[in-house]
Amino acid sequence: MDCTIRTMRPDEMEIAIEFAALEGWNPGLHDAACFHAADPGAFFVAECLGQVVGCIAAVSYAGCFGFIGLYIVAPAWRGQGIGRRLWAGGIARLSGQVVGLDGVPAQQDYYRRNGFSLAWQNVRFAGMAQRTAHTDPAQIVPLGAIDFASLCVDDRRIFPAPRETFLRCWIAMPDATGLAWLEHGRVAGWGVIRRCREGHKIGPLVADRPAIANALFVALCESVPWRDTVFLDVPMPNADALALAQAQGLHSVFETCAHVCGAGTCLRTPTSLRGHDIRTG
């Protein structure tokens, strides 16, 4: 079969996002540009008979931390070794780095056979955006009003490597709202909500204390249409985040498993809101 693994062209990012949508992953409307900006050479496609039939992302952050994502082969082309070739290319690009991925539970054996260990489980929660009569606390300000360098410093407390280029795109994307909580002149919490194929997703959402996370969650939900579906991806070890989801009346709709290879240098188990960002989904 005439099948080539090659670097993805910028105009093909939308094909990968459409693959993700067909898998039920509910990507954001403007995710493609930010993902590509993070590491333009990280995206690969499988092209067979002139048609893109699969893709994978192998994004490297500062040569320290890599993440495998968008690993998809179109259903009609599965079982022909295309996925293995995509996987080999992505893993080779991240050689020597700590590598993470987020996969469906059914693929755990595959990732284990390829050297990955289960790190924790994630749950996607969903609920409806509500309107409240309260006034947002004075500490909540638009994320764009925060000094970007300060935001990047705060992000390094929750993410294992610098990702300034990604963040600059993420917080400025269309159809999205970013908010921060300022306390004594410093960022004590922040979050972004963005429009997706279905509803809106919140992520990241980080905070020093549960009360700040709850206030930001409410304010972010109030920025989208009333009773629109809102999704929140939560690492299961994060007890504070689980409590927030329960308090907001969210229900579980999807599960994934976080895996890691080469751990021990820069990954942390997400046991608190500040210990790990609630996932970008």
pLDDT digits 0-9 by tens, 170-207: 999 999 999 999 998 899 999 999 999 999 999 999 99
**What does the pLDDT read at residue 271?**
54
Domain positions in the chain are 3-96, 125-255
Over residues 260-272, mean pLDDT: 60
Give the HSE-up count for residue 163: Cα atoms under 13 Å, Cβ half-sphere.
26
Q: Which residues contact 185 (CB under 8 A, 6 or more apart)?
A: none
Percent of the chain with pLDDT over 70: 93
User: What pLDDT is recorded for position 279?
Assistant: 38
Q: Which two tokens stand for residue 9?
A: 């062209």
Q: 278 pLDDT exceeds 60? A: no
Distance CA(212)–CA(189), nearest Å, equals 7
Residue 149 has pLDDT above 90, yes or no: yes
Mean pLDDT throughout 92-112? 92
pLDDT in tens, 48-83: 999 999 999 999 999 999 999 999 999 999 999 999
Give me the CATH code for the 125-255 domain, please. Answer: 3.40.630.30
The number of C-alpha atoms within 13 Å of 239 and in the hemisphere containing its C-beta is 1
- Backbone φ and ψ for 250, nearest 5 degrees, come out as -80, 155
In this structure, is the dihedral angle defined by the CA atoms of residues 7, 9, 13 and 15, taken in order, positive or negative? negative
pTM tops 0.75, yes or no: yes
Across the range 257-271, mean pLDDT stands at 67
Helix (H) or strand (E) holding 110: helix 108-113
Same fold for the pair 3-96 and 125-255 = yes
275 pLDDT exceeds 70?
no
Average pLDDT, the chain: 90
CATH, domain 3-96, list 3.30.1490.20, 3.30.420.10, 3.40.630.30, 3.40.1350.10: 3.40.630.30
Paired residues of 178 in beta bridges:
192
CB distance 128 to 227 below 8 Å:
yes
